[in-house]
Structure 1
């Protein structure tokens, strides 16, 4: 991956300009599509520039560097995952248990490329936290609001946070199991146990 710290000297950011922001989003969408298809291995500003049909200097005008660009790409891919889950949940009954089931089915059946890239991002955060910690920290902050919204509206905020955090951590573990096991039977069995725990939470006063 390029170290853009020195390269970006002399380039100004496009933030604040509507035209510049529109161009940034256009570039980001093209690069995100490339990463979704080809993964994070050998990601660099120059590879991103080729995917976007521009130069790495243009990217440095719109982004702070390779790591900033990577963070925004991963954020965009997580937004795709959240959007897919919300679409699935929209047709589910209003109970937390049914919403969690629908979200899990969306995660379980999502395109393998998307899951692979997001797993790679978490791997980078664990392998080199000094450089990529934001990729790991950002995941919980990005996913939790959706899970909080699934919880019954009358629950106290602390209870919502506790239950949503339990669901998030458990589902992320199941996704790792799906990635590393042959048939996914362990994840499915564990998920049924999670649903029973969620049902007990919903039934509690």
Structure 2
């Protein structure tokens, strides 16, 4: 592993634990045992570092989705995804993505291009999982759009709503996704 990869892993671990909002280089560097100059040497600037972290978070989250065993149906797959969203590593990964969106980072350059690439990788992982769980390839893109957007919203609601209420809503989503698959 190169020094840049080591630093990226350490920064990503830190961000997953501490969050992205308010991230500044000097305290970050101190927290991971390096200097802000070393971070700048390997990542050019804070924007490049944050983009790299978002890409690494996406890599970790897509790996977690790809590791999920196939479900017996699309409905079961959506419900399993929801359970996975509430556990590590997906919970923290989704939270970092929410923080990046909340701060406006992913909606403008230099982040927009990288965010779109990350979104494409994420959508591909979800599509692969749903196909392994019975979704037809001809309809999986529509199902992914519905499921991904809705689960993102349910994830946001975890801070204020009761998990049992959200689980019922997710199952309603899962039933709708199943109908799209049938």
Shorter chain as denominator, the TM-score bin is 0.7 to 0.9
Bigger relative contact order, structure 1 or 2, given CA contacts below 8 A and separation 6+? 2
Alpha-carbon RMSD: 2.7
1:80-95 aligned at under 5 Å gives the runs 80-87=60-67, 89-90=68-69, 92-95=70-73
Which residues of 2 match residues 81-120 of structure 1 at below 5 A? 81-87=61-67, 89-90=68-69, 92-110=70-88, 113-120=92-99
Unaligned runs of 5+ in 2: none
Question: Given that residues 85 and 107 in structure 1 are in contact (C-alpha distance below 8 angstroms), is that contact kept between their aligned partners in structure 2?
Answer: no
Equivalent position of 2:150 in the other structure: 170
Using the alignment, how far apart are the partners of 1:180 and 1:133 within structure 2? 29
Q: Distance in 2 between matches of 1:121 and 1:197?
A: 29
The correspondence of residues 106-185 of structure 1 with structure 2, limited to 5 A, is: 106-110=84-88, 113-125=92-104, 129-130=107-108, 134=112, 137=116, 140-149=119-128, 150-151=130-131, 152=134, 154-156=136-138, 159-181=139-161, 183-185=162-164
Structure 1 residues 78 and 195, CA gap change in structure 2 (3 angstroms): same
Q: TM-score, normalised by structure 1?
A: 0.72
Partner deviation per Cα, 1:40-65 (whole Å, 9 max, x = no partner): 23212223322332222222221131
Alpha-carbon shift at residue 140 of structure 1 (Å): 2.7
| SS of aligned partner of 1:125 | coil
Secondary structure of the residue that 1:109 maps to in structure 2? coil
Q: TM-score, normalised by structure 2?
A: 0.80
In our comparison, the structure showing a higher alpha carbon Rg is 1
Alignment of 1:37-52 (within 5 A): 37-52=17-32
Count of aligned positions = 177
CA deviation after TM superposition for structure 1 residue 27, in Å: 0.6
Contact 1:32/1:73 (CA < 8 Å) preserved in 2?
Answer: yes
Q: Which runs of 5+ in 1 are unaligned?
A: 1-20
